[in-house]
Amino acid sequence: MLDKRFQTLIVVSETLSFTATARKLFITQPAVSQQIYSLEDELNLKLVDSTNHKISLTNEGKKLAAYCKQVEIEGGRIIDILQQTDNSNPFKMGCTLSLSSILLPKFIHHLAGKSKVLTTKINNTEHILQDIRDGKVDFGLIEGNFNKDEFDSIFIQNENFICVANPHLRISKYIIEELFSQNIFVREPGSGSREIFEHWLGTQNHQISDFQHIVEIASPNVIIQLLKQSPGISFIYESLVKTELENGQLKKLDLKGLSIEHPIHLVFSKNSYFTDTYQQLVSSVLHQ
């Protein structure tokens, strides 16, 4: 396990307060200060700045705290694995809502027989990435963008991102401007598909606020049901609505300028000890 000074640095990076860190670690504030200053002296690095009684980490401090947190998380996981008497590998995985019906079943089917304990968390991209940082999940299946300096990833597949509508919707021109008067069902801020849509709108010199009737919904399945029952449009992965498109419950709108094939990744902490495990997992799932 890490020296207690490194553990203190991790908490300081989370609280940005020596007082709050002391309360969280059940030690005195002077003890927190002494540990941080001792660490700075030993490493010959400035880790923490204090200005007007406000604490901030230097770039070196942020990098070291992030590294220490990863060591703590992965060290704990290795111990958990070693303590398993049946040689099983416990997994905690995250998955975005959009991918929960596309990819998650494949991974669960593969891991169910190899892991005594399999935990899944379904949320938007922003939350899944934070769960990886906090060690609440080991890896995440996401379609949104992520910081490649902070996370490593393994490519899984590409997904077509399309505009879909209620089959009774009629428009004169297949351009985005024709849709501004329609009901648009979109995911909440922080979701990968919302980010993809907003980025594409930006390339067309538009933004979501250009639509007159905006409904934010956290579930892609609810969006699909609403589209089938009432006039409106949405932007979604084609594989999510494959059945509805085939049976005519929804229709695809081939909008001018909309041609998006977005990569899906398995994302995990940078330089993870378990990189080979994740690579083998993806290879096995894709070839099962």
Q: What is the CATH number of the domain that holds 144?
A: 3.40.190.10
Q: How far apart are CA 110 and CA 87, in angstroms?
A: 16
Q: How far apart are CA 194 and CA 3, in angstroms?
A: 42
Same domain as 183, residue 171: yes
**Tokens standing for 218?**
């956290």
Same domain as 57, residue 94: no
Beta bridge partners of 146: none
Same domain as 272, residue 130: yes
Same domain as 268, residue 127: yes
Q: How far apart are CA 141 and CA 103, in angstroms?
A: 8
Surface-to-core class of residue 50, CB atoms within 10 Å of its CB (0-12 exposed, 13-18 middle, 19+ buried): exposed
pLDDT at 84: 62
Same domain as 270, residue 247: no
pLDDT at 209: 94
Of the residues 81, 107, 126, which one is the last residue of a structural domain?
A: 81
User: How many residues are given for the chain?
Assistant: 288
Same domain as 141, residue 125: yes
From first to last of the 288 residues of the chain, give the pLDDT tens digit.
578 888 888 889 889 999 999 998 899 999 999 999 998 888 899 999 988 778 899 999 998 888 888 777 777 766 666 556 555 667 889 999 888 888 888 888 888 766 666 788 999 899 999 999 988 999 999 987 899 989 999 999 999 999 999 999 888 889 999 999 999 999 999 888 899 999 999 999 999 999 999 999 988 999 999 999 988 999 999 999 999 999 999 999 999 999 999 899 999 999 888 899 899 989 988 876
pLDDT at 216: 95
pLDDT at 82: 56
| Angle subtended by helix axes 18-25 and 4-15, to nearest 10 | 130
Q: How far apart are CA 282 and CA 288, in angstroms?
A: 10
Same domain as 131, residue 209: no
Same domain as 16, residue 149: no
pLDDT at 288: 67
**Host domain of residue 76:** 4-81
**Tokens standing for 119?**
């935990």
Same domain as 176, residue 115: no
Same domain as 135, residue 168: no
Task: Specify the CATH number for the domain of residue 65.
Answer: 1.10.10.10
Side-chain-side CA neighbours of residue 185 (13 Å)? 23
Cα 208 to Cα 49, 102, 194, distances in angstroms: 40, 26, 10
3-class state of residue 173 by DSSP: coil
pLDDT at 225: 94
Number of domains the chain is built from: 3
Same domain as 268, residue 148: yes
3-class state of residue 140 by DSSP: strand
pLDDT at 115: 66
pLDDT at 201: 95
Same domain as 258, residue 163: yes
pLDDT at 273: 86
